[in-house]
Amino acid sequence: MRATSASARALVLVNRRARRGGERIGEAVARLRALGVDLVEASVTGPEPPAEIIRRYGREVDRVIVAGGDGTINRALEGLLESGLPLGVLPLGTANNLARTLGIPTELDAACAVAARGEPRSVDVGRVNQRPFLTTASLGLSVAITEQLSGEAKRRWGRLAYAVVAARVLVRARPFTAEIVWPEGRLRTRTVQIVVGNGRYYGAALAVAEDATIRDRQLDAYSLEIRHWWELVRLAPALKRGSHGARPAVQTVRAREMDVLTTVPHRIDVDGELGPSTPAHFAVLPGALRVLCPGSAERKAAA
């Protein structure tokens, strides 16, 4: 099925606290209406959870458009999976890694055109202890970064805020013992971070693996076995490219499901939001969500 602007009626979930959410949402709403989309607008910063909002309006709309970042999308994900409605993305957050993974433009007019007229494509969804995710779920350094990264810092500094906070966290990082178990094997690791990826990009546009995709029906995991902060600095270019799996300090696993066990419970960062704790079971839900992506018309317009 191809979404068309002539019949489109969308629930727009707005995060006005996202980096560009407050200043650009009026412009986005006007642009969507100009494209022929009939809108129901709701805020995700109020007391009603996004999943409940989707349940309330799900029978009245043919898509859900999320105006925010990866964390905002994550909070709406359970409702999207229940409803079966396709997702349109207006990447108004800080990292916007789902949009980057799917080639959804960050320029607002172009993103609105994709949300109005794009082609729905099925993508995989990860799940950790029943919490769904689209980009990554991780423990260790990323949790400490999330805990210390304020919304104000992200709005003011954008992706640079990740680097500033990461530098502070890294100096104090201490390795922990963990075990990754999957149907074909078992890995015991002394690590500062474990990342389990469903998509390709996470954090400050880092790549989970060189060949990771959001449609490969697999999860890509890596464990970062470093002892000193300067080792991570040396690894930074490889982490950006996704080639870190070839380095001796990095252990990798690819599987459809896996368990991560730790000697003491560790909190898990899920799409940039704090989620459950270990022990953790990870699984992939193949093709579980449809996302409106650039089609031939949108690619021509952007060229």
CA separation, residue 59 to residues 30, 64, 70, 90, 170 (Å): 24, 11, 25, 22, 47
Q: What is the pLDDT of residues 177-186, one digit of tens each?
A: 999 999 999 9
Percent of the chain with pLDDT over 90: 68
Q: What is the pLDDT of residues 116-169, one digit of tens each?
A: 999 999 999 999 999 999 999 999 988 887 776 655 555 555 566 666 666 666
Question: 294 with 118: CB under 8 angstroms?
Answer: yes
Q: What is the pLDDT of residues 25-80, one digit of tens each?
A: 899 999 999 999 999 999 998 889 999 999 999 999 999 999 999 999 999 999 99
